[in-house]
Amino acid sequence: MVYQVGVVGAAGYAGAELVRLLIAHPDFELKVITSNADAGVALADVYPSFSGVSDLVFTGHDDPALASLDAVFLAVPHTAALAQAPALLDAGVAVFDLSADFRLADPDVYERWYATPHTAPQLLATRAFGLPELFGEDLTRAAENRAAGAPVLVACAGCYPTATSLAAAPALHMGLVAERGPVVVDAISGVTGAGKGANARTHFCHAAESVEAYNVCRHRHTPEIEQILGLADRVVFTPHLAPLRRGLLSTVTLPLKEEVVGALSAEDLVARYREFYRDRPFVRVLDAGRQPETASVVGSNACQLGLAVDGRAGVIVATGAIDNLCKGAAGQAVQCANIVFGLDERCGLPLMACPV
Amino acid sequence: MVYQVGVVGAAGYAGAELVRLLIAHPDFELKVITSNADAGVALADVYPSFSGVSDLVFTGHDDPALASLDAVFLAVPHTAALAQAPALLDAGVAVFDLSADFRLADPDVYERWYATPHTAPQLLATRAFGLPELFGEDLTRAAENRAAGAPVLVACAGCYPTATSLAAAPALHMGLVAERGPVVVDAISGVTGAGKGANARTHFCHAAESVEAYNVCRHRHTPEIEQILGLADRVVFTPHLAPLRRGLLSTVTLPLKEEVVGALSAEDLVARYREFYRDRPFVRVLDAGRQPETASVVGSNACQLGLAVDGRAGVIVATGAIDNLCKGAAGQAVQCANIVFGLDERCGLPLMACPV
Amino acid sequence: MVYQVGVVGAAGYAGAELVRLLIAHPDFELKVITSNADAGVALADVYPSFSGVSDLVFTGHDDPALASLDAVFLAVPHTAALAQAPALLDAGVAVFDLSADFRLADPDVYERWYATPHTAPQLLATRAFGLPELFGEDLTRAAENRAAGAPVLVACAGCYPTATSLAAAPALHMGLVAERGPVVVDAISGVTGAGKGANARTHFCHAAESVEAYNVCRHRHTPEIEQILGLADRVVFTPHLAPLRRGLLSTVTLPLKEEVVGALSAEDLVARYREFYRDRPFVRVLDAGRQPETASVVGSNACQLGLAVDGRAGVIVATGAIDNLCKGAAGQAVQCANIVFGLDERCGLPLMACPV
Amino acid sequence: MVYQVGVVGAAGYAGAELVRLLIAHPDFELKVITSNADAGVALADVYPSFSGVSDLVFTGHDDPALASLDAVFLAVPHTAALAQAPALLDAGVAVFDLSADFRLADPDVYERWYATPHTAPQLLATRAFGLPELFGEDLTRAAENRAAGAPVLVACAGCYPTATSLAAAPALHMGLVAERGPVVVDAISGVTGAGKGANARTHFCHAAESVEAYNVCRHRHTPEIEQILGLADRVVFTPHLAPLRRGLLSTVTLPLKEEVVGALSAEDLVARYREFYRDRPFVRVLDAGRQPETASVVGSNACQLGLAVDGRAGVIVATGAIDNLCKGAAGQAVQCANIVFGLDERCGLPLMACPV
């Protein structure tokens, strides 16, 4: 059976990546792509890589055809998903939201960090969190709801939270991490993470040959990481911009419990992480001593993890590499949709990056 | 039916791209990958993007298993193919050679430009030239030979000749081009074109933020372009290196016949090129006024063409963009193999680049 | 003696480069920098590299202080120089214009290529053309005029015309080039050439890892190149964009006179070019067989030239590398000002790029 | 008075940057440049940016002319400085060592981290540590020694330690930092930091469009940072490689003393840092809310610092941006030499980067 789907906000980077994946997906048929700015324009005129491959044309976000689809992916800025999701859910459409609007369980936290009211808090209790490797039960429940005709809203995890949480969660889950003290997350993103908007920061001549930190101590992914990992007020998250297009590396330094220091080798840790991620096709834990390169995952839905233990300072350093647009956005949303629609979670998703 | 295939020289860039394509190919099963330098090493240890995807391990070029395969792709430097092809052909293996060894029909031309003896000139008469859009009959004949049990040797076109010829051939074929005077080909390649060898030129700190011409008036693809296009001693080919990994753009300036100047619009030319490449799934002729970007084809087997006419100076400027490792090497070889084995020529080949 | 100078349009890339050079110049004192968009903003807030180095603040283009300066550099788009130059000249200010407004000697040609009226054609007869290595007499005359109290207007050459003309002019001057047939100029520029405006083309994620031709057969530097070189309706100019910030390489293919073909070696040509550029401190002719890399000139006012001869096709291939913002814009303007004010032409100008 | 100087290891990246600076230095005359690999080769043939600027030719490291110079800069790998420094000191030459050989005060620590014997421990007690902003007294003493005819050996700080320490030292000095718990240093370097050697990691096609951590929990700059900052066994240092040529950003997360949390604003911290670095011409503390970009310091000896306070997690996040080859290597060595020879510390050193 083929399900009919649409992408709202398909002219942005995450949206265009969704289009790439959905066009090639064997079980989803992409019927509608919307963009208010590019309504009426052919997809291939905005993204020439689709030339000769797809004749889709953008419609506006208010395209009534959306309401008759099986699923809609919302690749819009925050608040726009709040505006659009309720009606789609009422129409029986499964909604996979890539924005931040439904990620934070507590609407007060949302309002504090995003400085805007949460207009649909009633949806938070039942939304599924879209990070399959760590919140698989949410998605199983969503699949059951869909089968039962109940509404399905999946709040897909953000790019930084995905890489960070996949790197940190097993250590926390195993009880290796000290119960107080900062957990330092320094992450590096490619420029697609800054979005398609042309501005001084995304200008080639600013971004090339330079690195910088940004939104230090105030990036909105901080509370999302803390919520996923259960680390209230402990995460120091510093994102950096580097001159690459796609790719995201998160370096997480976790303080060990005193009794663990000295007793844990990197090899042990690798073995435990591999056990934790057994049967998760997109997560690969590298051998001790090896570190992931973002280029090894770009274009794919894979996440590669590197692990090291510093017995001197008493910490784990865990690194996670993903493609911010794929596993950090569009790919993860499709992975969630696969699960919700009862398909193999790998369905239609690239397993590997180009070798070079 | 699934055919068993191997890649000789699989640790180089073109070889690794072949591995990427063949692993995902529905009708070819990749059984053997060889590398003398990396024999015994796992593929994923050399190219971490294969981590979790393939357990293949390199063997040496003398792996006896090669002789029992249906097809072997030679992704080796010139002279190495001369050394290896004859025995494989004798063993009944179809050989797809990505090197220059069998491209030039005249062994004297080969010896002059490559400064080495041609040790298998007897194979030149019957080899097929591997550029399906321009030498389709060669490949049809090769497919018939294979069906009849006769040897199959395909000399796949080089990267610069592919982009250049796809851009220039229709204008020549249509009789628009003056019969004397230089045809100027200025092309730009990404650094993968310089190969995997680490040296002063391929060092990041040399190649980044710089462009340069190289091998000016003496690049070995010159006689290959002249042979394909029938332009003896008329091609001035200047290749340039630019700071990108994959991607190749060839800008070809063709002098028009006097009677054509003033009578030919870019729109006409686009229409004629589209007719010429009708039914060729990988070639896309852009509208007049648009120009191809290499990023729009990277990772795919597509070629995008741009066309302009300069009535003042009396020339056509035709540009062709390909991925040098895919349509310029591995993808084209798989496309040729698809035809030889009776499959759809698109089989297993990516039709589009990532949108960003 | 120190001359007081100003930069109109100092917030753009060429303007900021002028500021960099003039701040460090021993004989010019930079008093005024203007930008309509950034009036009232500190220079260091727009370009943080000036932090701790300069306290200059932008004023508007109508800053009355401009009229009392010794010299003003106009780093504005075309038509804006037409609007501003006459009043400055009337006020006795020497004007160095980096725009295209006064480059073309024939106002009809200007109006045809720029599609706008030329509002000050009376200034064209006496303006000096600012390309010191080829139009030294213009600048000597301007220096005499300045000394005599007459107005001084220098129309500085464009970036592509500078690299192209320095590469091609000696061969033409020596009578080596055939008197008909296209002269093909394929040039590659870094993204600063597209200006500081943030748009789809200058977005990092568009420009990185890609090359493309643009404005094919219709770039406005075409008539400027033809005027400098005396090649009416013979220049086919195709500019390309590559993923670097600064740097410009022009590859010029010049058809040889029949009697020259076969009689001219690259070594001869190098020797003749060196003679032609004897005593020109910024032009360096590389040995035969070597090619200039743009990174070797970036940040400096140097131009490096490479020369090759193709006896088969009967052409010279001459390549010229410059920094588009320095020798192609700001540095050349300062070089012209040095000459006009009777200083050593090297004064305050960087002679070399960083080695890496 | 002009001092005669030499550079040992001048063909490497730090060495070539020394040559660039020393050629333009008004008080040092560069007489000798050595390279064992390139002995006999002209500087401009290895680094074409010197073409037309310098006629220097490399000699071997054993060039006897070194012993008669006033100062020698050692830009060689560790152990090579151990081998060469003693004889130069005996000859009365002031030695500025850019290697790690004399940085660590405790030879046991050196031997543990570098896995090689320290063959000149007797020189450690009197060597000066070359980081003028934090060890000014060392250099004052060295200047006195030189004036008195005593030997002068300056162990210039490493690139990561320089950026990290300039960012962290004031907070530690002011007593803001908790007395236990990890101090996390995540730093990002351009590829010149990996050296001129061509290998798989420095290949353009590996380094471009990718980021990765390396030498996690075992980089040799860790004990150097701990020594400078007095943070024994507390520094967790994770270096990363990003696709830029020059530039280094260090992001340091320092746990605050409990009594400081909540009482310290970013504005306070900026004011205190500015007081700390008053009269230090190369260090610029940005306004609260701003972050340094490496491109704003590349090519110069500047260090830009950004400061943020996270009251939730109780930490300072301090970022420091330098040019790894200039302030992180060659520029710092020249700055030290300026002080030792009684010159203005800014002498011959670029104060600013190109604006773009």
**pLDDT tens digits, one per residue of D20-78:** 999 999 999 999 999 999 999 999 999 999 999 999 999 999 999 999 999 999 999 99
For residue C56, the chain D residues in CB contact (below 8 A) are: none
Judge: D53–C355 Cβ closer than 8 Å, yes or no: no
Distance, CA of D246 to CA of D330 (rounded, Å): 13
Distance, CA of D257 to CA of D275 (rounded, Å): 21
- The residue written with tokens 């004192």 in the block is C29
Distance, CA of A65 to CA of C87 (rounded, Å): 61
Q: Which among B308, B287, B282 is positioned nearest to B297, based on CA atoms? A: B282
Neighbouring chains to A with at least 3 Cβ pairs closer than 8 Å? B, C, D
Amino acid C218 reads R
Looking at every residue in chain D, the average pLDDT score rounds to: 98
For residue B353, the chain D residues in CB contact (below 8 A) are: none
Distance from the Cα of D191 to chain C's closest Cα (Å) equals 11
Task: Closest CB to B238: pick one of C244, C251, C321.
Answer: C251
Task: Closest CB to D308: pick one of A217, A306, A312.
Answer: A217
Res A34: pLDDT = 98
Distance from the Cα of C286 to chain B's closest Cα (Å) equals 13
Beta bridge partners, D301, equal: none
Distance from the Cα of D295 to chain A's closest Cα (Å) equals 5
Sign of the Cα pseudo-torsion (C139, C141, C144, C148, in order):
negative
Task: Closest CB to A51: pick one of B51, B299, B304.
Answer: B304
Give the tokens for residue C144: 């005499």
Task: Closest CB to B192: pick one of A19, A245, A356.
Answer: A356
State percent of chain C over pLDDT 90: 100
How far from D304 is each of A237, B43, D129, D294, CA to CA, in Å?
21, 43, 21, 8
D1 pLDDT above the threshold of 90: no
Judge: A213–D356 Cβ closer than 8 Å, yes or no: no
Judge: C217–B310 Cβ closer than 8 Å, yes or no: yes
> DSSP letters of C129-140?
EE-TTT-HHHHH
Please compute the mean of the pLDDT values over residues C116-134 and round it to a whole number.
98
By DSSP bridging, strand D3-8 and strand D28-34 are parallel
Task: Closest CB to C205: pick one of A200, A206, A245.
Answer: A245
Q: Which of B156, B159, B303, B326 is catalytic?
A: B159
Q: Which of C33, C326, C356 is the best residue to mutate to test the D interface, defined by the most D CB atoms within 10 Å of its own CB?
A: C356
Please compute the mean of the pLDDT values over residues D272-293 and round it to a whole number.
98
State the Cα angle at C342 between C337 and C348, rounded to 5°.
Answer: 55
CB B293 within 8 A of CB B354: no
Distance, CA of D205 to CA of D192 (rounded, Å): 15
Judge: C245–A200 Cβ closer than 8 Å, yes or no: no
For residue C200, the chain B residues in CB contact (below 8 A) are: none
| H/E segment holding residue B312 | none
Q: Which of D18, D205, D290, D356 is the best residue to mutate to test the C interface, defined by the most C CB atoms within 10 Å of its own CB?
A: D356
For residue A296, the chain B residues in CB contact (below 8 A) are: 47-49, 51
Distance, CA of B153 to CA of A117 (rounded, Å): 68
Catalytic residue annotation of C: 159
Res B1: pLDDT = 84
CB A270 within 8 A of CB A292: no
Please compute the mean of the pLDDT values over residues C128-150 and round it to a whole number.
98
Backbone φ, ψ for residue A310 (5° rounding): -110, 100
Q: Which among B159, B144, B177 is positioned nearest to B272, based on CA atoms? A: B177
Q: Identify whether D354 is a catalytic site residue.
A: no
Distance, CA of B332 to CA of B129 (rounded, Å): 11
As to burial, measured by CB atoms within 10 angstroms (0-12 exposed, 13-18 middle, 19+ buried), residue C113 is middle
For residue B209, the chain D residues in CB contact (below 8 A) are: 245
Task: Assign D285 a pLDDT band (cuts: 50, 70, 90).
Answer: very high
Judge: D49–C16 Cβ closer than 8 Å, yes or no: no
Please compute the mean of the pLDDT values over residues D3-11 and round it to a whole number.
98
For residue B356, the chain A residues in CB contact (below 8 A) are: 13, 16-17, 47, 192, 196, 245-246, 325
Low-confidence ranges of chain B (pLDDT < 70): none
Distance, CA of B212 to CA of B24 (rounded, Å): 36
Judge: A253–D247 Cβ closer than 8 Å, yes or no: no
Judge: A296–B355 Cβ closer than 8 Å, yes or no: no
- Claim: this prediction has a pTM higher than 0.90: yes
For residue D191, the chain B residues in CB contact (below 8 A) are: 204-205, 208
* pLDDT by position in tens, chain A (length 356): 899 999 999 999 999 999 999 999 999 999 999 999 999 999 999 999 999 999 999 999 999 999 999 999 999 999 999 999 999 999 999 999 999 999 999 999 999 999 999 999 999 999 999 999 999 999 999 999 999 999 999 999 999 999 999 999 999 999 999 999 999 999 999 999 999 999 999 999 999 999 999 999 999 999 999 999 999 999 999 999 999 999 999 999 999 999 999 999 999 999 999 999 999 999 999 999 999 999 999 999 999 999 999 999 999 999 999 999 999 999 999 999 999 999 999 999 999 999 99
State percent of chain D over pLDDT 70: 100
How far from C202 is each of B190, C211, D117, CA to CA, in Å?
19, 12, 53
- Per-residue pLDDT tens digits for D162-203: 999 999 999 999 999 999 999 999 999 999 999 999 999 999
Res B233: pLDDT = 97
For residue D244, the chain B residues in CB contact (below 8 A) are: 208
CB A336 within 8 A of CB A152: no
Task: Closest CB to D13: pick one of C196, C208, C356.
Answer: C356
Residues of D with CB under 8 A from a CB of B: 13, 191-192, 196, 198-200, 202-209, 243-245
Distance from the Cα of C290 to chain A's closest Cα (Å) equals 27
Distance, CA of B36 to CA of B58 (rounded, Å): 8
Judge: B295–C253 Cβ closer than 8 Å, yes or no: no
Neighbouring chains to C with at least 3 Cβ pairs closer than 8 Å? A, B, D
